[in-house]
Amino acid sequence: MNAKESIRSLINFADKVAQAYLGDLKDEELFIRPIDGTNHIAWQLGHLIRSEHAVIAGISPDKMPALPEGFADKYTKETAAIDDPAAFHTKEEYLRVMKQQREGTLAALDSISDEELNQPTPDERMRSFFPKVADLFGQAGTHSLMHCGQWAIVRRKTGRPPLF
């Protein structure tokens, strides 16, 4: 297995875990906060989509599909406290845009060489966390796993059994 295959494998695993947690949640359940002061799943999904787009567009701008008009503006630190579903998107919309962005990420990964994966991260501010371009692909592809623990709590709050 080479570096790109390994990154793709991690991305596919993260996608399976995220889809398992999100699979049977209803739109209204995306607005349940695990505890006070945390972000609801709807905001987290928009954040994940916005983040993946920004990270990979910084490496391969021609591979990333454009986000829907005004999408990124709905997922800022300032909007995290909003609970009104009308201010966000539906689960179907999130899943559609996530799929589009993920396809762009994988197209970018396919188009990049091993030498390019080993290059320093272009954005110097991100290098302390993600020193190499390969690390950016890993982050973009597995970022959802950082949020899945909160999704598990929402699932338990809604009476669902543990998945894993």
User: pLDDT of 101-137, one tens digit each?
Assistant: 999 999 999 999 999 999 999 999 999 999 999 999 9
What does the alpha-carbon distance between residue 75 and residue 148 come to, in Å, rounded to a whole number?
18
pTM score over 0.85: yes
Which pLDDT score is estimated for 121?
A: 94
The domains of the chain, with CATH numbers, are 3-157 (1.20.120.450)
**What does the longest C-alpha to C-alpha distance in the chain come to?**
48
Helical H segments across the chain, by residue range: 3-22, 41-57, 91-111, 114-117, 133-142, 145-157
What φ, ψ does residue 120 adopt, rounded to 5°?
-60, 150
